[in-house]
Each structure stands twice: as C-alpha cells, then as structure tokens.
Amino acid sequence: MNRGRILIISGPSGSGKSSIINYILSEVDNSTLSISTTSRDIRDGEIDGMDYNFVTKDEFQNMIEEKRFLEYESVHGNFYGTDREFVEEALEFGKLLVFDVDTRGRESIMKFYSDIAVTLFVTTPSREILEERLRGRGTETEEQVQKRLQNAIEEMREMKNFDYFIVNDDLDRAKEEAIQVATLSALKPTISLSTAMLELWEM
C-alpha cells in the first residue's frame, strides 16, 4: 500500500474553511480529518474520538513530556495538539490526512512531512468581507470579532508560505478548487498572487 498524503488547510475564522474541509472529506476517497487531542471539557453533542480526543490536562502534559505531539498550543487555558501516532497510522493506511490548523501548526507539521504535504490557505477577498461574515454569524462579541480580525491579519502575512490559496468569494467554486488541490491538480501558486491579496487587505 502506498504511503498516504497530507493536506494542511489554514485560514481565518469566517473564511469558510470548515465548509471546504467537510466537502473534501465527503468527496475525496480515503480522506480523513486529523483529530486533535485537547484538554478542554467535552461539550454537548461532541463525541470523544470523533470531534476531539479528550484528555485531562495532566494527561496532556505527560504526552508533551513523552514528545507525542507533532505540534501543540495553548488556547484560552486549554491545550490542543496533533498526536504523531495518529498521523503515522493514517499514513500507513494510505489515507489523505487533512489538517485544520493555524499557520504555526502548518510550520510544525512541515518540519516532519514536507515531502508528502500540500498546503492550502483559504481567505476572503477582503478584511471587510471577513468582518461582515463574522458579524453575520451572530455568535461573536465585539471583543471576539476584533480579536479574530487581528488574528486574520497575522495569518494573512504567512500566506506566502503556502503552496496554494483560495479566495472564497463563491463557496461552491471554492469547494471545487479545494478538490483540485486535494487531488494535486494544478492551481495558480500562492507566490504569484500573494502580494495582490495583501494589498486588497490593506496590509
């Protein structure tokens, strides 16, 4: 059996990244989502081993000491990380393993799997459109909206380090473009358009 492949997808909250990832998983044979390990409490409706692998903070700390993670970070007092054993098992079964991580997570994973990984950045045409989408969800406080916008600007600065990017101004088209990336078809490389995108974002 051929060794699997890795698709790393990053992008701001509100860019449509989750919808695109779910479409890839439904349309690409033998694809699976890399399930993160977290120390936060399980929420209503979540399933251990499907949404996250839930562990205690002490268990997470032990996993850090045992160097079990490809990457991990602390978010709002809770830990999130990618278990190396989970990744290796998926690759041994020849799967396309899809990662939903931030730009720091991309950098950490590429240190180990740059030879089999393709990276994709998903964004909106402008900061204004992202802000409109975040506010339209009705789930964010003003402080959270501003924090997500600031995080988006920081992530956009890393876009040049990705193999491909998609401007999600039409979700159906963005989904099809993502399928092309997932199957390693040719899309326009990031490098040719990243400068123009940064200008659109007035950075």
Rounded CA-CA distance 91/116 in Å is 10
Average pLDDT estimate for 86-108 = 92
- Kindly report the pTM of this predicted structure: 0.81
Helical (H) or strand (E) element with 166:
strand 164-167
**pLDDT for the residue numbered 50:** 86
Q: What is the pLDDT of residues 76-89, one digit of tens each?
A: 789 999 999 999 99
**pLDDT for the residue numbered 193:** 47
Average pLDDT estimate for 183-191 = 48
As given in the structure block, the two tokens for residue 94 are: 């020849």
Which residues are bridge partners to 69 per DSSP? Answer: 83
Say if residue 188's pLDDT is above 70.
no
Q: What angle do CA 193, 131, 52 make, to 5 degrees?
A: 90
Neighbour count for residue 85 (Cβ, 10 Å) = 10
For residue 194, give the 3-state DSSP assignment.
Answer: helix
Say if residue 142's pLDDT is above 90.
no
Say if residue 189's pLDDT is above 50.
no
Rounded CA-CA distance 111/12 in Å is 22
Rounded CA-CA distance 153/91 in Å is 33
As given in the structure block, the two tokens for residue 197 are: 């995108």
Say if residue 168's pLDDT is above 50.
yes
What structural domains does the chain harbor?
5-34+95-200 (3.40.50.300)
Per-chain mean pLDDT for the chain? 86
Of 94-98, 146-150, 178-182, the range with the lowest mean pLDDT is 146-150
Greater confidence, 113 or 191? Answer: 113
**pLDDT for the residue numbered 54:** 97
**pLDDT for the residue numbered 1:** 62
